[in-house]
Amino acid sequence: MNNHIQAEKALSNIFEPVWGDEMIQGDSANLQQWQRYIEQEIGFILPNTQLQWLTNAIDHTATLNGLTTQQLWYQLPKNNEIRQQLLDKVLIHESRFFRHKPSIDFITRYAIDKCTDDRSKPFRIWSVGCASGHETWSLAMSLTAAQLSNHVILGTDVSEQAITNARLGQYDQRQYSLIPQNCQQFVYPLITKNAGNELSMADTSSKVERSINTQFDWQVAPALRPYVSFALHNVIEQKSPTSHLQNVIICQNMLLYFRKFDQRDILAWLSEQCEVEGYIILAPGEALFWRPSNMRRIAHPQVNVWQKISA
């Protein structure tokens, strides 16, 4: 059965709204209905401490479409564009370049060894839950700085807005300061101010693209783009965004938003997408309960890394 048909039945039969024309701010029962809907769609568990974030996302999406919250509720299973807008507002896109450098260094060293031993096929990396592309571009910078050229890096996220921003590859000065010296060759200034204090664009992006993010200062270099692609992907649906098995799957700081049984299912499915002798890398401290028969945890002082030992 189509996911949206399931969602519509769930909304009408289980999550029947109890408010009038407007959602009452702070009504925990109403917000729990919205929490359950978000979990049903993407498996994302929004903590109770972030209910105001959820309220703001609901209000913003409703206002953007000229709807009351009740009307928004009933539009969700019928209108995929509005549904995606709500998910984009709910999801937390915060990330940064070289967020966990030991993981990136581990992948780079493995890529060097793998590409030295076998040049017949590209070294493949999948960055799961890539947000606005910081991790994906960090990997591209690190591998290219190591003078590797036979690699393919895929970044995926359930947020359409995040993927759009990731493809643009435009970021602010704060992010530039996080990039190691040997990788700063892969960025260039994007915006300058002329004498009239007007913004001058250093690229040829369309006006539509420019309007998405007006707070950027620099852009990733064109030399990185042949190695990187991005795709909209909902990991809870367990449908692969690519037909290729991966040498490395990196999934950091995403699983903590899922229930433990969903984490276990996601990890089992990700291991199927990893080639034998390849690695899955998680954030330090994540999913320490995981005990798969086809994976072994590698003893590493800084990286939470698992190697696939059998199909």
How large is the average pLDDT for residues 212-235?
88
Residue among 277, 239, 241 at smallest CA distance from 130:
241
Same domain, 226 and 248: yes
Same domain, 171 and 229: yes
141 domain-assigned: yes
User: In the prediction, which pLDDT does 47 show?
Assistant: 78
Produce one character per residue of 74-99: b if its CB has 16 or more CB atoms within 10 Å, e if not.
ebbbeeeebbbbbbbbbbeeebbbbb
Phi, psi values for residue 283, rounded to 5°: -70, 150
- pLDDT at 3 exceeding the cut of 50: no
11 domain-assigned: no
Same domain, 143 and 233: yes
220 domain-assigned: yes
User: In the prediction, which pLDDT does 191 show?
Assistant: 57
Structure tokens at 248: 């490395």
**Which range has the worst mean pLDDT, 50-64, 158-172, 179-193, 200-214?**
200-214
83 domain-assigned: yes
User: In the prediction, which pLDDT does 241 show?
Assistant: 96
Same domain, 65 and 160: no
202 domain-assigned: no
User: In the prediction, which pLDDT does 118 show?
Assistant: 79
- pLDDT at 36 exceeding the cut of 70: yes
- pLDDT at 95 exceeding the cut of 70: yes
Read off the pLDDT of residues 189-218 as tens digits, 9 standing for 90 and up: 985 444 344 444 444 333 333 334 447 899
How large is the average pLDDT for residues 232-253?
96
How large is the average pLDDT for residues 6-16?
42
Residue 276 to residues 65, 250, 271, 308: CA-CA distances in angstroms?
48, 15, 9, 5
86 domain-assigned: yes
Do 125 and 145 form a contact (C-beta atoms < 8 A)?
A: no
**Domain count across the chain:** 2
Do 100 and 106 form a contact (C-beta atoms < 8 A)?
A: no
Same domain, 106 and 78: no
Range of the domain at 84: 29-90
Residue 243, domain CATH: 3.40.50.150
User: In the prediction, which pLDDT does 13 show?
Assistant: 42
The pLDDT confidence band at residue 117, using thresholds 50, 70 and 90, is confident
User: In the prediction, which pLDDT does 27 show?
Assistant: 55
Same domain, 120 and 265: yes
Same domain, 52 and 180: no
Same domain, 231 and 270: yes
Structure tokens at 303: 């990286």
Quick one: angle between helices 101-117 and 134-145, nearest 10?
Answer: 50
Q: Reduce the secondary structure of the chain to three states and give it as a string.
A: CCHHHHHHHHHHHCCCCCCCCCCCCCCHHHHHHHHHHHHHHHCCCCCHHHHHHHHHHHHHHHHHCCCCHHHHHHHCCCCHHHHHHHHHHHCCCCCCCCCCHHHHHHHHHHHHHHHHHCCCCCEEEEEECCCCCHHHHHHHHHHHHCCCCCEEEEEEECCHHHHHHHHHCEECHHHHCCCCHHHHHHEEECEEECCCCCEEECCCCCHHHHHHCCCCCEEECHHHHHHEEEEECCHHHCCCCCCCCEEEEEECCCHHHCCHHHHHHHHHHHHHCEEEEEEEEECCCCCCCCCCCCEEEECCCCCEEEEECCC
Same domain, 155 and 280: yes
**Which range has the worst mean pLDDT, 141-150, 210-219, 301-310?**
210-219
- pLDDT at 18 exceeding the cut of 80: no
Q: What is the pTM of this model?
A: 0.83
The pLDDT confidence band at residue 28, using thresholds 50, 70 and 90, is low
Same domain, 45 and 131: no
Domain boundary among 67, 90, 113: 90
251 domain-assigned: yes
Same domain, 72 and 115: no
How large is the average pLDDT for residues 124-133?
97
CA distance 71 to 224: 44
Domain boundary among 40, 64, 90: 90
For the chain, what is the mean pLDDT?
Answer: 85
- pLDDT at 223 exceeding the cut of 50: yes
Same domain, 70 and 105: no
CA distance 191 to 193: 7
- pLDDT at 138 exceeding the cut of 80: yes
CA distance 308 to 310: 6
Provide CB contacts within 8 A for 119, sequence distance 6+: 150
Read off the pLDDT of residues 274-295 as tens digits, 9 standing for 90 and up: 999 999 999 999 999 999 999 9
284 domain-assigned: yes
User: In the prediction, which pLDDT does 73 show?
Assistant: 96
- pLDDT at 114 exceeding the cut of 60: yes
User: In the prediction, which pLDDT does 91 show?
Assistant: 86
- pLDDT at 246 exceeding the cut of 70: yes
How large is the average pLDDT for residues 227-248?
96
Q: In what order do the strands lie in the sheet with 170-171?
A: 170-171, 218-220, 187-189
CA-only gyration radius of the chain, Å:
21
